[in-house]
Amino acid sequence: MRPWLERVAAIFLVLLCPTVLLASEPQAELEEFLDQELTRSGIPGAAYAIVKDGEIQASARGQKLARTEVALSPDTPFLIGSISKSFTAVAIMQLVEAGQIDLDGQIGDYLPEFAEPISGAVSPRELLSHTSGFSTIVGNSRRPGDGADEDLEAHVIWLAKQDQEFRPGVGWQYSNANYQILGRLIEVISGRDYAAYVEAEIMAPLGMENSSVSDGGLPPDGMAVAHRPWFTGHRPYPLESTGRVNAAAGGIFSSANDLALYLAMMLNGEDDVISAASKAEMLEPANPVVRFYGLGWFIDADKGTVYHGGLVAGTETLATMKPAANEAVVVLVNANSGIGFGETHALRNGISARVLGLDYAGEASRFWTQVTYLSVMALPLIFVLCVVVAWRGRSALAAKSGVFGLFSLWFPVVAMGVMAWMLAVQIPQWFGGNLATMQLFQPDFGWAMLLSAILGPVWAIARLATAYRAKSTRVGARVS
């Protein structure tokens, strides 16, 4: 190299080094934090991608399948859960821009099953913003008889017959039902299957080569294997097939790199997949009823962020944008959080906060959450021991008499009946589902709840029966 070229190169490197160092230090900090959280939580692995001014950085740690040597990469597909809703919103905005859908029209004008609504006319905007009146529980329910061959049209017809929680446009409640209906709307208007439409009109133009949509067939090759909590650890939950019913609400597969391309599109302020005006509208409050949700995205005005998480059996995700700074981050984890143990909240929230410069003091103490988990897990064993104790103490039970004695014999039957109802029905509804949903996402906890709901009444009834049998035996012995 000529001397003058060497001097220019040296000057260039000196000027460049601070920039390189500034760029690498945050990345190194993230890698260290990710390693720490993977060790602390005991989850198999995670991938993340960062978007800054259109530039993408991505990384991954851990394994596709726990206790194997197959490593995750930024191009590994994950089932991203409810981040899929934003793709559905983009598809709807494309059809709005094409003049084929009126955002504030009536859904019954497009889907005949909604021509005579039960609780009031619903608009596409209300479906997109979860202000339609459909409940969380309805959105997590399945049409009776809907098996392996899922039929989205039949499911939406069934949804049209369900009572809404409130009149459309007057309240907010998150519900997959809204996006299941929108998925069917896209099919009817476009004349294409939802999966085919999204792959052709959104993923292909953005170059999302490691992304696809649930279409009822096999999951993509090489995807991250899901893992569910199991007694403070995690065990694999391989996906054998995909489903069509919930594709528009949570059925998209994508990688960290591909989602970074998608988030970069949402931030670029350009007319491409959809117009810049439509992007801006999606990231603003959808209507006066709800100021914290736009069209397919949650909004945190105080932090200046727009975000959406995803939760499916065995996988948790989080995508966050900071539009004013033209920055975004996505974090994908191939495991569900446990309850107090093996949680992933700190990993997802910590990476997102570090990238976007948000205040984050870590998660609150999990002591009482852990106590709750351990208590529920111990309940079945406790009830079995109580049955043994009741049998061994049958003479004392038989001696109970009078008002207080009868109360002590019969009250546990009533109390355990109430407890069984709480465990099997009420508590799962507080989480927006039923006991089967609890068993799907938290199988150890769900099974402990089911066993407790069975064994609690069994103990109370066995105790009562033991007492009266002992009483009758004692009376017989006196007579003889």
Rounded-to-integer distance, Cα 250 and Cα 310, Å? 7
Whether residues 316 and 451 fall in one domain: no
- State which amino acid sits at residue 164: Q
> Looking at the domain assignment, is residue 86 inside a domain?
yes
Whether residues 295 and 208 fall in one domain: yes
So what's the pLDDT on residue 9?
43
Torsion angle of C-alpha atoms 347, 75, 88, 201, degrees rounded to 10 = 160
Whether residues 297 and 399 fall in one domain: no
Please, are residues 307 and 297 in contact by the beta-carbon 8 Å criterion? Answer: yes
> Looking at the domain assignment, is residue 35 inside a domain?
no
Whether residues 162 and 244 fall in one domain: yes
Q: Which of 456, 453, 437, 228 is nearest to 339 (CA)?
A: 228
Please, are residues 111 and 186 in contact by the beta-carbon 8 Å criterion? Answer: no
Whether residues 348 and 378 fall in one domain: no
Read off the tokens for 345. Answer: 């909240």
Domain boundary among 301, 324, 356: 356
Cβ neighbours of 349 (radius 10 Å): 18
What is residue 63's three-state secondary structure?
strand
Read off the tokens for 204. Answer: 């292909």
Number of domains into which the chain is organized: 2
Q: Provide the sign of the torsion angle of the four alpha carbons 3, 4, 10, 13, taken in this order.
A: negative
Q: How many residues does the chain have?
A: 480
Strand-pairing partners, residue 229, are: 234
So what's the pLDDT on residue 480?
54
> Looking at the domain assignment, is residue 2 inside a domain?
no
Whether residues 174 and 303 fall in one domain: yes
Whether residues 395 and 422 fall in one domain: yes
Characterise 206 by phi-psi region: left (phi > 0), alpha (psi -120 to 50), beta (else).
Answer: alpha
> Looking at the domain assignment, is residue 9 inside a domain?
no
Whether residues 121 and 78 fall in one domain: yes
SS (H, E, C) 351-380: HHHHHHCCCCCCCCCCHHHHHHHHHHHHHH
CATH classification of the domain holding 251? 3.40.710.10
pTM (2 d.p.): 0.90
> How many helices and strands in the chain, by DSSP H and E?
18, 11
So what's the pLDDT on residue 16?
41
Whether residues 335 and 454 fall in one domain: no
So what's the pLDDT on residue 4?
46
- Chain-centroid distance of CA 346 in Å reads 16
Site of tokens 């799962």: 428
Read off the tokens for 338. Answer: 């446990």
Rounded-to-integer distance, Cα 23 and Cα 396, Å? 75
pLDDT tens digits, 47-100:
999 999 999 999 999 999 999 999 999 999 999 999 999 999 999 999 999 999
DSSP structural state of residue 289? T
Please, are residues 286 and 86 in contact by the beta-carbon 8 Å criterion? Answer: no
Domain boundary among 322, 356, 390: 356
> Looking at the domain assignment, is residue 392 inside a domain?
yes
Task: Indicate the helix (H) or strand (E) that contains 62.
Answer: strand 55-62
> Looking at the domain assignment, is residue 451 inside a domain?
yes
So what's the pLDDT on residue 53?
95
Rounded-to-integer distance, Cα 180 and Cα 129, Å? 13
So what's the pLDDT on residue 24?
42
Rounded-to-integer distance, Cα 335 and Cα 234, Å? 7
So what's the pLDDT on residue 1?
47
Rounded-to-integer distance, Cα 245 and Cα 155, Å? 7
What is residue 333's three-state secondary structure?
strand
Whether residues 173 and 49 fall in one domain: yes
Domain boundary among 331, 356, 381: 356
Backbone phi, psi, residue 412, to 5°: -60, -30
Which residues of the chain carry a pLDDT beneath 50? Answer: 1, 3-25, 148
> Looking at the domain assignment, is residue 11 inside a domain?
no
Residues 6+ apart with CB under 8 A from 221: none
Strands 212-213, 298-300: pairing is unpaired
Whether residues 371 and 302 fall in one domain: no
Range of the domain at 315: 41-356
Rounded-to-integer distance, Cα 355 and Cα 220, Å? 29
Alpha-carbon radius of gyration of the chain: 27
| Mean pLDDT (the chain, rounded) | 91
DSSP structural state of residue 58? E
pLDDT tens digits, 206-253:
999 999 999 999 999 999 999 999 999 999 999 999 999 999 999 999
Read off the tokens for 240. Answer: 């054998």
What's the order of all strands across the beta sheet hosting 78-79?
78-79, 252-254, 212-213
Whether residues 352 and 418 fall in one domain: no
> Looking at the domain assignment, is residue 18 inside a domain?
no
